[in-house]
Amino acid sequence: MDSAIDTRKAKRQCWECLKRRLVCDYTMPHCKKCLKRGLKECPGYDAQKPLQWVEPGKITSRERTKPSKHSNLVLPVLQSRPPPMRESSSDTSGSRRTTRSDETDWFEQQELLLMYQKAFADLQSLDQVDQIMMLENRDKIEEVLRKGSKDEASKMLKMEKDPLKGLRRVLRYIRLEKLPTYNLQSDTSEVVQAIQYFNTRVIPENTGPEFALVHNPQIMFFPMSALHLLTPAMHSSFVCIALQHYILRLPPGASKQALVANGPKIWQYRGEAIRELSRRVSDQRTMYSLATITSIVVFLTNELQAQTLPDWRTHIDSLMRIIKIRGGLMKLYRSTFYMHPTVVLFHLVVVASNSTSPADDQVVLAPTLKDELDNAEELYHELFPYCLCPPPVFFFIIRVTHLRREASQAQVLGDDIIDLMLLARGLLSQIEGFLVNDWAQPGDDYVDWLTIGLTYKHAVAVYCIMSLQSSGLLPITPDTIAQLEHHGALLGEHIRTAFAKQRLRRFVSWPLVVAGTEAGYRGEARRKWVEDCCVELARFLGTNCPLNIKAVLRRYWASGTPGWDSCFHKPFAFMF
């Protein structure tokens, strides 16, 4: 081995880090991150991208540091461009395909994508989209069309003009999505029971004035017959979410018994969801469809509420590839009204998870900070009811996260970070200068608006100080230590106030994560209070997410090394 050490740095990211949206370490001649991930060799920094493609239907994934008994339950990596030029094979088995057939397959995928987009646009062009969700199953639709019964079609769509044409559009959508015929008539169907549970237990707890400070138009009663227009993966995910909510809402003793009885069922439906998603993303006709995107987001939501911390980044990576093929997240949002809830929820999950991930291992939603802030501003009127975070404060989260990423890149390249340090000081000043009193909505609920606004303001101030200190952009001085103690103390006070009110308690998950991280500098009493809040919040929300927060924080506290990067040394995701 050559004893000389190559100290040169590459001027571009290696192709593997670029593909995985990671920050490369720019080491010459090969990136060390690739070697750590178990790759045989780094693809390098050449201007020409190396040719390396995956056959449709094959699955690839990063190696785990530890084997998992569920390691086979991951989504396949998608092929997003035409296959490379290859020579024809003399293999008579037909397992290899010629260059021409590979290219033809890819162009057929694009034609199918355009066909799907047109079908869905036609579906949306109907005057009463809500009525479409009340349709019978596929067999009934086909029967009406075979008979050519205009009256029955009119009754099904609740429209007088061209009802048969409208019904054909719906059937075309179902066929393109390859949705099966469901038999959901029985009351014993666990999918039906899950939706009934949502409608009778979960929805009322999120919509009444005593439970919700602001109305969320995306939370509504779910029509049972709409199940015929959803994928099997969504059915399975709904069963998992409903069972977990039911188990956690029970008293502690009964909850353990219910978990023993229903735990295997949750894993069964989770496995069915993953197998169905794997089939959809391996099928050229469905891999880019809106139903596939929605199915992955619903499954991701279920994963983030699961009993153990999942490999959530695998699902996000697959989803980002699909979204890129469809033109990007905002194009999906602007072109398809039906997809607004899916896009908004996905955006919220990514913003929150980036804050609790290493600066060099984040999901990049936009090429520049300005683009990301513009997108967030466009989405925020629909995003706000999910978190109640004041818009400027939410944008502060994005700016702090982006500054962390810039600092990480500068340190790898050996660039000067003086300008970034000045930006960090200015950003902290802006956060501290935000006047929640001016933002809080006047009226009878003014105190509640003030409480949730102050909770987020001080949470973001703590996030800014701790994370940017870990990044080397803010110094650890008596002044910054005093600022951190000040915001940490106020954060704890406002979380206690918010916890006392049901309509605010459900929105403090992320502030609680921040408070727990700041508790690394505090004593056992503060940590015990954070743990108790996590347990209470898990039972109140009916989700394991707060318990996952508790597990991460306990490992962090046990390490004895306070600091943002000490806590979030690898990517974590917690629902807002």
Of 3-17, 254-268, 490-504, 561-575, the range with the lowest mean pLDDT is 3-17
Q: Which residue has the higher pLDDT, 128 or 198?
A: 198
pLDDT, the chain, mean = 80
Res 60 pLDDT > 70: no
Task: Please give the average per-residue pLDDT across 150-159, as a whole number.
Answer: 74
Res 249 pLDDT > 90: no
**pLDDT tens-digit series, residues 179-192:** 877 766 554 478 88
Res 252 pLDDT > 60: yes
pTM for this one?
0.73
286 close to 267: Cβ distance less than 8 angstroms: no
Label residue 50 by pLDDT band (50, 70, 90).
low
SS3 27: strand
* pLDDT on residue 100: 43
* pLDDT on residue 219: 79
Percent of the chain at pLDDT > 70 equals 77
Res 349 pLDDT > 60: yes
Res 116 pLDDT > 80: no
Place of tokens 């502690």: 252
Res 112 pLDDT > 60: no
Cα separation, 36 vs 30, whole angstroms:
11
Place of tokens 């188990």: 247
Label residue 525 by pLDDT band (50, 70, 90).
very high
**pLDDT tens-digit series, residues 82-106:** 333 333 333 433 433 434 444 444 4
Residue 574 gets the label, from left (phi > 0), alpha (psi -120 to 50) or beta, of beta
Maximum CA pair distance of the chain? 84
Percent of the chain at pLDDT > 90 equals 42
**pLDDT tens-digit series, residues 294-345:** 999 999 888 888 766 567 888 888 889 889 988 999 999 998 888 899 999 9
Cβ burial of 482 (10 Å; 0-12, 13-18, 19+) is: exposed
Instruction: Tell me the range of 66-70, 114-118, 138-142 where mean pLDDT is highest.
Output: 138-142
Cβ-based neighbours of 261, under 8 Å, separated by 6 or more: none
* pLDDT on residue 307: 65
* pLDDT on residue 143: 83
Label residue 45 by pLDDT band (50, 70, 90).
confident
Would you kindly state where each structural domain of the chain is located, as residue ranges? 1-53, 125-176, 380-567
Label residue 79 by pLDDT band (50, 70, 90).
very low
* pLDDT on residue 131: 42
Q: Which residue has the higher pLDDT, 107 or 234?
A: 234
- Preceding omega of 29 cis (within 30 degrees of 0): yes
Contacts of residues 57-64 at CB distance under 8 Å and 24 or more positions apart, as own/partner, are 57/282, 59/278, 59/282, 61/314, 62/37, 62/38, 63/37, 63/38, 64/311
Among 298, 299, 348, 289, CA closest to 323: 289
* pLDDT on residue 80: 38
The total number of residues shown for the chain amounts to 576
Cα separation, 473 vs 419, whole angstroms:
9
**pLDDT tens-digit series, residues 406-451:** 999 999 999 999 999 999 999 999 999 999 999 998 888 999 999 9
Res 518 pLDDT > 50: yes
Cα separation, 421 vs 414, whole angstroms:
15
- N-to-C CA span, the chain: 50
* pLDDT on residue 89: 37
> What CATH fold (topology level) applies to the domain 1-53?
CD2-Gal4 (4.10.240)
* pLDDT on residue 125: 44
Task: Please give the average per-residue pLDDT across 32-38, as a whole number.
Answer: 73
Label residue 48 by pLDDT band (50, 70, 90).
low
Cα separation, 504 vs 251, whole angstroms:
22
Distances (CA, A) of 504 to 383, 431, 494, 499, 540: 16, 22, 11, 7, 12
